[in-house]
């Protein structure tokens, strides 16, 4: 039991700020608790559309996933239930109030775009080999996070 004393304003603020909770078995994808970037807490959740909020969280998940990759792999998105394969994530966007869009290429290098309603959002992040030995892995999560800082 803690003896922390909170003001009414602190309770009200805590009720509208986003939280992230994770638990992992020892040695299995431990991500470490991270403080949410200030850019995600400048507007309350009630001020954001479902698409904007999903977009911001996806950036955090992609960036965190990429931090665990070696220099021979990069992030892609897998598809369940069909033969579509994977989408090498090269961009992410949203269209208010409820659409999230992924941009990238498929296994064969063909352009690909997934347009997803937030109520159907189901993303499986995968580590896939970089297609050419001579190029560095693209870390789209860090680029998206930097752009998010500039827009807000």
Spans of all domains in the chain: 46-151
**pLDDT given for residue 96 in this prediction:** 92
Query: Using CA atoms, how far apart are residues 88 and 110, in angstroms rounded to an integer?
Result: 10
State the average pLDDT over residues 24-30. 57
**pLDDT given for residue 84 in this prediction:** 74
Lowest mean pLDDT among 14-23, 36-45, 53-62, 71-80: 14-23
Return the axis-axis angle of helices 50-67 and 140-151, rounded to nearest 10°. Answer: 140
109 torsion bin: left (phi>0), alpha (psi -120 to 50), beta (else): left
Report percent pLDDT > 70 for the chain. Answer: 72
Question: What stretch of H or E contains 143?
Answer: helix 140-151
132 against 124, higher pLDDT: 124
Taking every pair of Cα atoms in the chain, the longest distance, rounded to a whole number of angstroms, is 59
Query: Using CA atoms, how far apart are residues 117 and 26, in angstroms rounded to an integer?
Result: 35
Query: Using CA atoms, how far apart are residues 141 and 13, in angstroms rounded to an integer?
Result: 28
101 torsion bin: left (phi>0), alpha (psi -120 to 50), beta (else): beta
**Half-sphere exposure (CA, 13 Å, Cβ side) for 24?**
9
Lowest mean pLDDT among 41-45, 102-106, 131-135, 141-145: 131-135
**pLDDT given for residue 100 in this prediction:** 92
Q: What are phi and psi of 98, to 5 degrees?
A: -150, 15
């Amino acid at each position: 039991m803690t003896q922390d004393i909170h003001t009414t304003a602190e309770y009200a603020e805590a009720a509208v700020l986003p939280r992230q909770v994770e638990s992992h078995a020892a040695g299995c994808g431990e991500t470490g608790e991270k403080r949410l970037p200030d850019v995600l807490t400048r507007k309350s959740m009630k001020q954001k559309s479902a698409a904007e909020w999903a977009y911001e969280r996806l950036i955090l998940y992609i960036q965190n996933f990429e931090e665990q990759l070696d220099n021979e792999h990069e992030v892609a998105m897998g598809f369940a239930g069909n033969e579509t394969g994977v989408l090498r994530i090269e961009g992410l966007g949203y269209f208010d109030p409820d659409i999230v869009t992924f941009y990238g290429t498929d296994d064969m290098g063909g352009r690909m775009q997934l347009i997803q309603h937030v109520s159907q959002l189901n993303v499986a992040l995968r580590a896939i080999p970089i297609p050419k030995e001579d190029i560095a892995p693209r870390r789209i999560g860090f680029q998206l996070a930097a752009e998010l800082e500039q827009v807000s």
